[in-house]
Amino acid sequence: MYKNLFIDFDDTLYDTRGNAEISLREMFDHFQLNQYFPDFETFSRSYWKTNVELWAQYSNGEIERDYLIIERFRRPLSEGVDANGNHFNPTEEFCLKVSDVFLDFCAVKPGVVDGAHELMEYLKKKGYRLIMCSNGFHEIQYRKLKSCGLLEAFDQIILSEDAGANKPSPVFFDYAFEATGATPSDTLMIGDNFSTDILGAKKAGLATMFFNRHPESFKATESVDYEIHSLKEVMGLL
């Protein structure tokens, strides 16, 4: 039925959240941010709240990449207070330095979602054309792909920076169709982000497989062709 599989990368195959949390702690220690925060958890909560908000805006084309990179650290860092009660006022230069160190730590982390390697091997043997569709930054995504051993698993890689638009924009999917020769009728989109992966794909006319990693707290707001809660389930469907 399907010849092509458009597959999201971050938090679908690659354990982006888990790897980033480890890297965030390493970055926290590297810059000795304990002088501004009572503990790592306080900083981490603020970072993730900000990061989720900014990535949603970035995916919708509301902000630029450079703004996201700086702001996702400037906001949580600005909540820091030193021993004299003075609020930390991070400069743009410092935020960029923090971002560079953080992304360097992230890019070498090998952690994948449980079953990712087994699934990709299974799909390859079944003869599907495997196409990665991601909103991640170009240089970082390739480094992460190499670190986790999934670079060679894909037949083609489509990134938002190459497409000139992020998922869920139809521009992204139009670019993916043109670049791969895939069509909506012979392609299935697999992803964990309901807004960017699933709704974007549905609007582009694609069949969808929603990887709902947290069914206890999230319910699909529109119908999907498949809903799974683990990657192992895919092998029973395709």
Whether residue 133 contacts residue 172, with contact meaning beta carbons closer than 8 Å, is answered with yes
Task: State residue 1's pLDDT score.
Answer: 86
Same domain, 143 and 176: yes
Residues 52 and 116 in one domain: no
- Amino acid identity for residue 10 in this structure: D
pLDDT at 75: 97
Q: Structure pTM?
A: 0.92
pLDDT given for residue 136 in this prediction = 87
* Same domain, yes or no: 120 and 8: yes
Residues 117 and 201 in one domain: yes
> 99 and 26 in one domain?
yes
Verify that 157 and 228 share a domain, yes or no: yes
Domain extent for 165: 4-15+110-236
Mark whether 145 and 80 lie in a shared domain.
no
Residues of the chain with pLDDT under 70: none
**Residue 71 sits in a domain of what CATH number?**
1.10.150.240
What is 163-231 written as a DSSP string?
HTS-TTSHHHHHHHHHHH---GGGEEEEES-IIIIIIHHHHTT-EEEEE-S-TTT---SS--SEEESSG
Q: What is the pLDDT of residues 103-148, one digit of tens each?
A: 999 999 999 999 999 999 999 999 999 999 999 889 999 999 999 9
Q: Which of 107, 122, 138 represents a domain boundary (last residue)?
A: 107
